[in-house]
């Protein structure tokens, strides 16, 4: 494979501290074995998330200086609106401070109690926002999505037969919209094919329901389409993105991902009635519709980020860097979800730590080891994040027990990726020494953010 050489050079640097194993051992104990409680300064390579962690370009920073902070009608809003329209094509565009507030607006407008929202797989904030509006999120991913070993070029797809069956079973009255997440974050950042977008769109149209794309990683998804789907090799990623959104009626977006900024998002849609309701609610909870909880300069940075994210040299590097990390781990026999997705490598903790039972959170145990041994911060996506207590006091665990290594955009060099791979390979060699964890404190919703644990001796 080709070495993923950076298509940028470095103009400003940010120091990162090196800590000792002793310091990290103390810090992770103080943090209740939860890496969300760690001071970020004590981390060497932070792969907690690719959300809001991007490095902005000189072009974006220059745009920051052009911020027009007028309360209404800022020139940056018009630039932002034009940049979004050019790619996404939707008629009404409403800025928000991040993706989840776009979701909150959408479900506030679209859902009534007991309504069902189908998606390939709901991202955790999307699921939480559907439930917050008393809706029922339903995941309809293809069966392959749940098998960490199966290769599939578009493992993020929704199963159109499952969607059709859902409409037949519950009726379109109870399904106000269909959603599709590109790339499918919760299935490992796996892409959705254009063919699948078309098929899902056709079913939604048949039942006269709008299709909304959760567009956070649209550029990465479209790059995979160009690489893997017949008929797209000669199209630009920009053209592919335009085609993808032409099959939908709206989208929610966290610009903290493929907007290449540190804060921001939007909701866009063709329907005027829903857009008007969303904008009225926005004024109550976020701000006036030409800034939506952001500063003018933030809107300028998003407008410029959306131009840059479609640069194919950038995308080849981005996808290539994550693939490179995967290749190094694969050669050393470290188990992870294959094929590698667009923004992260997902270690398969069940296979990595077979000696730790699910009740002792093997994924979180691996997260703790990554930090303690190497100063790397990852996140568990498994029993701690998605486990549910049952009536008998036991716990129901999700199928997969993963550890996500999400790579921030344009932040780390491919040498950092080599450091990460070497560290994981070392930990894999001494995996028998890693111990399980016991929960000692948890919140009722999204417990992984605040849970505290102790190590089992
Ligand atoms: C990040 C993300 C969101 C939520 O966006 P925030 O900006 O974090 O609120 C929604 N869906 C997907 C697929 C995401 O990755």
Helix/strand/coil (H/E/C) assignment for every residue in the chain: CCCCCCCCCCCCCCCCCCCCHHHHHHHHHHCCCCHHHCCHHHCCEECCCCCCCCCCCHHHHHHHCCCCCCCCCCHHHHHHHHHHHHHHCCCEEEEECCHHHHHHHHHHHHCCCCCEEEECCCCHHHHHHHHHCCCEEEECECHHHHCCCCCCCCCCCECHHHHHHHHHHHCHHHCCCEEEECCEHHHCCECCCHHHHHHHHHHHHHCCCCEEEECCCHHHHHHHHHHHCCCCCCCCHHHHHHHHHHCCCEEEEECCCCCCCCCCEEEEECCHHHHHHHHHHHHHHCCCCCCCCCCHHHHHHHHHHHHHCCCHHHHHHHHHHHHHHHHHHHHCCCCECCCCCCCEEEEEHHHHCCCCCHHHCHHHHHHHHHHHHHCEECEEECHHHHCEECCCCCEECCCCCEEEEECCCCCCCHHHHHHHHHHHHHHHHCHHHCCCEEEEECCCCCHHHCCEEEECC
Among 130-134, 155-159, 448-452, which stretch is predicted with the lowest mean pLDDT? 448-452
Nearest to 387 by CA among 454, 453, 448, 449: 448
Task: Give the residue carrying structure tokens 């989840």.
Answer: 100
Q: Is the pLDDT of residue 314 over 80?
A: yes
Task: Give the residue carrying structure tokens 């980020």.
Answer: 305
Identify the band that residue 185 occupies on the pLDDT scale cut at 50, 70 and 90: confident
Ligand 1, pocket-test mutation among 214, 263, 342, 406, most atoms within 8 A of CB: 214
Residues 173-197 have a mean pLDDT of 94
Q: Which atom, in ligand 1's list, is nearest to the CA of 102?
A: 9
Instruction: Give the mean pLDDT of the chain.
Output: 96
Identify the band that residue 53 occupies on the pLDDT scale cut at 50, 70 and 90: very high
Residues 128-152 have a mean pLDDT of 93
Alpha-carbon distance of 408 to 428, in angstroms, equals: 24
Which CATH code fits 58-308?
Answer: 3.40.640.10
Residues 371-389 have a mean pLDDT of 93
* Per-residue pLDDT reduced to its tens digit, 389-444: 888 878 899 888 999 999 999 999 999 999 999 999 999 999 999 999 999 998 88
Pocket lining: 326 vs ligand 1, CB cutoff 6 Å = no
In the prediction, which pLDDT does 308 show? 98
How much distance in Å is there from the Cα of 218 to the middle of ligand 1?
12
How much distance in Å is there from the Cα of 333 to the middle of ligand 1?
31
Q: Is the pLDDT of residue 1 over 70?
A: no
Q: What are the two backbone dihedrals, phi and then psi, of residue 403, each rounded to the nearest 5 degrees?
A: -125, 120
Pocket lining: 185 vs ligand 1, CB cutoff 6 Å = yes
Residues 352-363 have a mean pLDDT of 97
How much distance in Å is there from the Cα of 187 to the middle of ligand 1?
14
In the prediction, which pLDDT does 386 show? 85
Ligand 1, pocket-test mutation among 129, 216, 385, most atoms within 8 A of CB: 216
Q: In this predicted model, which residue has the larger pLDDT, 17 or 334?
A: 334
Q: Is the pLDDT of residue 57 over 70?
A: yes
Nearest to 209 by CA among 93, 95, 119, 94: 119
CA distances from 96 to 182, 184, 252, 388, 455 (A): 19, 22, 10, 31, 40
Pocket lining: 265 vs ligand 1, CB cutoff 6 Å = yes
pTM, two decimal places: 0.95
Pocket lining: 120 vs ligand 1, CB cutoff 6 Å = no
How much distance in Å is there from the Cα of 254 to the middle of ligand 1?
5
Residue 415 CB contacts under 8 Å (≥ 6 apart), including other chains: none
Domain ranges of the chain: 21-50+312-455, 58-308
| Cβ atoms of residues 261 and 301 within 8 Å | yes
Alpha-carbon distance of 292 to 283, in angstroms, equals: 8
Pocket lining: 216 vs ligand 1, CB cutoff 6 Å = yes
Q: Enumerate the β-bridge partners of residue 45.
A: 376
Q: Is the pLDDT of residue 147 over 90?
A: no
How much distance in Å is there from the Cα of 214 to the middle of ligand 1?
8
Alpha-carbon distance of 232 to 239, in angstroms, equals: 9
Among 88-92, 109-113, 121-125, which stretch is predicted with the lowest mean pLDDT? 121-125
Residue 174 CB contacts under 8 Å (≥ 6 apart), including other chains: 114, 115, 116
Residues 150-175 have a mean pLDDT of 97
- In this structure, which CATH number among 3.30.930.10, 3.30.565.10, 3.90.1170.40, 3.90.1150.10 belongs to the domain 21-50+312-455? 3.90.1150.10
Alpha-carbon distance of 184 to 214, in angstroms, equals: 9
Judge whether 21-50+312-455 and 58-308 match in fold. no
Residue 164 CB contacts under 8 Å (≥ 6 apart), including other chains: 203
């Amino acid at each position: 494979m080709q070495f993923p050489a950076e298509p940028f050079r470095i103009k400003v640097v940010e120091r990162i501290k090196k800590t000792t194993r002793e310091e990290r051992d103390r810090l992770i104990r103080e943090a209740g074995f939860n890496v969300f409680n760690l001071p970020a300064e004590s981390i060497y390579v932070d792969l907690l998330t690719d959300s809001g962690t991007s490095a902005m370009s000189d072009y974006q920073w220059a745009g920051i200086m052009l911020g027009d902070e007028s309360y209404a009608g800022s020139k940056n809003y018009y630039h932002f609106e034009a940049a979004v329209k050019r790619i996404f094509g939707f008629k009404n565009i409403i800025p928000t401070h991040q993706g989840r507030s776009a979701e909150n607006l959408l479900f506030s407008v679209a859902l009534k109690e007991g309504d069902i929202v189908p998606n390939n797989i709901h991202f955790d904030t999307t699921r939480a926002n559907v439930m917050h509006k008393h809706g029922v999120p339903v995941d309809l991913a293809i069966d392959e999505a749940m098998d960490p070993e199966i290769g599939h070029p578009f493992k993020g797809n929704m199963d159109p037969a499952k969607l059709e069956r859902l409409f037949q079973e519950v009726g379109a009255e109870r399904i106000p919209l269909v959603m599709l997440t590109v790339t499918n974050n919760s299935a490992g950042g796996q892409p959705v094919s254009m063919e699948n977008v078309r098929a899902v769109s056709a079913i939604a149209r048949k039942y006269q329901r709008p299709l909304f794309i959760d567009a956070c990683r649209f550029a990465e998804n479209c790059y995979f389409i160009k690489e893997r789907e017949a008929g797209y090799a000669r199209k630009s990623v920009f053209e592919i993105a335009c085609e993808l959104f032409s099959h939908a009626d709206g989208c929610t977006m966290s610009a903290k991902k493929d907007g290449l900024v540190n804060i921001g998002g939007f909701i866009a849609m063709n329907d005027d009635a829903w857009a008007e309701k969303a904008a009225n609610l926005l004024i109550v909870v976020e701000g006036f519709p030409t800034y939506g909880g952001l500063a003018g300069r933030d809107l300028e940075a998003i407008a410029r980020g959306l131009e840059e994210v479609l640069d194919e040299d950038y995308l080849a590097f981005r996808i290539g860097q994550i693939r490179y990390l995967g290749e190094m781990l694969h050669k050393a026999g470290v188990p992870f979800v294959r094929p590698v997705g667009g923004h992260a490598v997902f270690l398969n903790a069940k296979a990595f730590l077979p000696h730790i039972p699910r009740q002792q959170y093997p994924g979180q145990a691996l997260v703790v080891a990554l930090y303690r041994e190497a100063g790397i911060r990852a996140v568990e996506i498994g029993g701690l994040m998605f486990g549910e207590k049952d009536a008998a006091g036991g716990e129901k665990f999700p199928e997969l027990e993963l550890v996500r290594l999400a790579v921030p955009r344009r932040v780390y060099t491919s040498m950092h990726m080599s450091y990460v791979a070497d560290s994981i390979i070392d930990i894999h060699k001494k995996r028998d020494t890693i111990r399980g964890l016991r929960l000692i404190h948890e919140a009722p919703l999204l417990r992984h953010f605040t849970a505290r644990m102790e190590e089992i001796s």
